[in-house]
Amino acid sequence: MGMVSEFKDFIAKGNAMDLAVGVIIGGAFGAIVTSLVSDVITPALLNPALKAAHVEDLAGLKTEGGILYGKFLAAVISFLVIAFVIFLMVKGINGMKKKEEAAPAAPAGPTQEQLLAEIRDLLKK
């Protein structure tokens, strides 16, 4: 029973639950970013540029040994576009967050002379 209770404690800890939520949200966010890149950005920006440069057949390029370097190059380009889109989204989200107001400075306490004067006055009474 000791191992079962340890397992329950492990699962119930905040770190494990936060990690699980992060993975699930990350997967859903990944689908959003993939759709944004493939359905919005690529058709709007990249397709005209790729057609003009005549590299639309990039994925079909291969060597005599069967290495598909065109697919690799397409994956690298896709990664760079996705990474840039994520960068822009994070930058936008961070910009929307309100800047935390600086905490007001703590009021300055009495000086040593003021404390000694108070002690002197109390001793006189």
Q: pLDDT (tens digit, 9 = 90+) per residue, 84-120?
A: 877 887 788 777 776 655 556 667 778 888 888 999 9
CA-only gyration radius of the chain, Å? 31
Whole-model pTM over 0.85 = no
- Give dist(CA 3, CA 22) in Å, integer: 26
Is the separation of the CB atoms in 82 and 34 below 8 Å?
yes
- Cα within 13 Å of Cα(42), Cβ side: 15
Per DSSP, helices labelled H in 1-125 are 2-12, 14-35, 47-53, 69-96, 112-124
Tell me the per-residue pLDDT of 26-47, one tens digit each, with 9 for 90 and over: 888 888 877 877 777 777 776 6
